[in-house]
Structure 1
Amino acid sequence: MLVEEVMKTEVITLPPTATISEALRLLQKHHLHHIPIVDNEMQIIGIVSDGDVRDASPSVFDDHTEHQALNNEIRSIMSHPVRTVHPLDFIEEIAQVFYDEEFACLPVERDNQLIGIITEKDMLYTLIQLTGTNVQSSQIEVKVPHKPGILPEVASVFGRRRTNITSVLMYPYNDDPNYKILVFRIQTMNPLPVIQDLRNAGYELMWPNNIAEPKV
């Protein structure tokens, strides 16, 4: 999945000469957490967060505080340079950037122009879509040898039952490089026949692992 499939294209921005007061009004009106700061050619030159604006605003508990600080230009508190991503970047790679750098959002640029923004919330929703948890389904986890061809081999068990697979994930099995866990989400509310087929084929199920095999 690409960034352009997930990003928001309607981005509220401000010029660097806008005041902190203007930024505060936009953040509150549109329930934003970040505002990109751009020049006349939509080139991103900075970014401000609701935390930046809050820290620069006078305390609401001090009646004697001059509110002149709100008239300062937003460039005085913006963060720069700004880490950006390209619309053709892969979401899986961008997730690593969010994790490593602890970003809450990333502006999207093409040809040095701001064209969108992607947030932590967008990333979380994308993860939900990729895992298939947004549709009614059953989950089955299978421990398999880490070898070529194992995925189609296991998937063929589902195919024989004409079971629709909505998503497939793979993750390591503990610290053992010889095994992987395949996670299937399938569109059936009765996974018992497929579960039994997998067991009959010799596969070890990690989930569900509490369903007893039928007595012969």
Structure 2
Amino acid sequence: MHVEKIMNRNVISLSPSDPIEKAYQLLVKHKIRHIPIVDEDHFVIGIVSDRDIRDASPSIFTNNPDMDVLNKEISSIMSSPVITAHPLDFVEEVARIFYDREIACLPVVSNEKLVGVITEKDLLYTLIQLTGTHVQGSHIEVKVPHKPGILPEVASVFGNRGVNISSVLVYPFQDDPEYKILVFRVQTMNPLPIIRDLRNAGYELMWPNNIPEPRL
């Protein structure tokens, strides 16, 4: 999936000469946490977060707070240079950037101009969609040998039961390179027949693994 599929195209931005107070007002009004800062050509030159503004704001515990600080230009507190993404970047690659750089928002640029933003909330929502957890169903984990053709082999068990698979994930089994875990989200509230079929086919279930053999 590409970033353009999940990014927010209705981006609120500011110029570097705008006052800090204006940024604060926009954050509160639109309930957002980040604002890209762009120049006259709409090139991204910085980004400001709610934390940046909070750190720059006068403390309520100060006897004589300097309220003029909110009139300073936003360029005085923005982060620069800015890490950006492209609309055709893959979502999983961008997620790795979020993790590695410990950031919560990425401006999305095309031809060096701002065209959208993507946030950690967007990534979390996408994960929910990709894993199928937004759809009622059942969760089944199967330990399988790490070999070619094993996925369609196991999936055929579900197909034989006429059960739709919402999503499939594959992840390592501990530190053993000989095995993988296949995680299926299936559109059935009664997984017992599938569990029986999987066990009869010789597969080891990691989840559910505490359900006794269903009786015929």
Shorter-chain TM band = over 0.9
Q: How does 1:120-131 map to 2 (within 5 A)?
A: 120-131=120-131
Q: Does 1:107 align with 2:101?
A: no
Shift of 1:104: 0.6
Please give the alpha-carbon distance, in whole angstroms, between the structure 1 residues aligned to 2:6 and 2:16.
27
Q: Between Structure 1 and Structure 2, how many residues are aligned?
A: 216
Please give the alpha-carbon distance, in whole angstroms, between the structure 2 residues aligned to 1:186 and 1:214.
18
Please give the alpha-carbon distance, in whole angstroms, between the structure 1 residues aligned to 2:141 and 2:161.
17
Aligned-partner SS, 1:135: coil
Shift of 1:127: 0.7
Please give the alpha-carbon distance, in whole angstroms, between the structure 1 residues aligned to 2:185 and 2:4.
26
Please give the alpha-carbon distance, in whole angstroms, between the structure 2 residues aligned to 1:215 and 1:158.
19
Scaled by the length of structure 1, what TM-score is found? Answer: 0.97
- 2:212 aligned partner: 212
Q: Would the aligned equivalents of 2:164 and 2:186 in 1 still touch at CA under 8 Å?
A: yes
Which string of whole-angstrom CA distances, capped at 9 and with x for unpartnered residues, describes residues 150-203 of structure 1? 000000111111110000000110110000000001001111111111111110
Please give the alpha-carbon distance, in whole angstroms, between the structure 1 residues aligned to 2:211 and 2:57.
59
Scaled by the length of structure 2, what TM-score is found? Answer: 0.97
Please give the alpha-carbon distance, in whole angstroms, between the structure 2 residues aligned to 1:10 and 1:178.
47
Please give the alpha-carbon distance, in whole angstroms, between the structure 1 residues aligned to 2:118 and 2:87.
10
Aligned-partner SS, 1:129: helix
Shift of 1:56: 1.1
- 2:167 aligned partner: 167
Please give the alpha-carbon distance, in whole angstroms, between the structure 1 residues aligned to 2:82 and 2:152.
43
- 1:178 aligned partner: 178
Aligned-partner SS, 1:60: coil
- AA in 2 matched with 1:164: N
- AA in 1 matched with 2:159: G
Please give the alpha-carbon distance, in whole angstroms, between the structure 1 residues aligned to 2:140 and 2:5.
28
- 1:15 aligned partner: 15
Q: Would the aligned equivalents of 2:193 and 2:214 in 1 still touch at CA under 8 Å?
A: no
Shift of 1:215: 5.9
Task: Please provide the CA RMSD for this pair.
Answer: 1.1
Aligned-partner SS, 1:48: strand
Please give the alpha-carbon distance, in whole angstroms, between the structure 1 residues aligned to 2:98 and 2:215.
50
- AA in 2 matched with 1:4: E
- 1:116 aligned partner: 116
Question: Which structure 2 residue ranges, 5 or more long, are not aligned?
Answer: none
Shift of 1:92: 0.9
- AA in 2 matched with 1:130: L
Shift of 1:63: 4.5
Question: Which structure 1 residue ranges, 5 or more long, are not aligned?
Answer: none
Please give the alpha-carbon distance, in whole angstroms, between the structure 2 residues aligned to 1:214 and 1:31.
50
Aligned-partner SS, 1:88: coil
Q: Does 1:65 align with 2:65?
A: yes
Aligned-partner SS, 1:141: strand
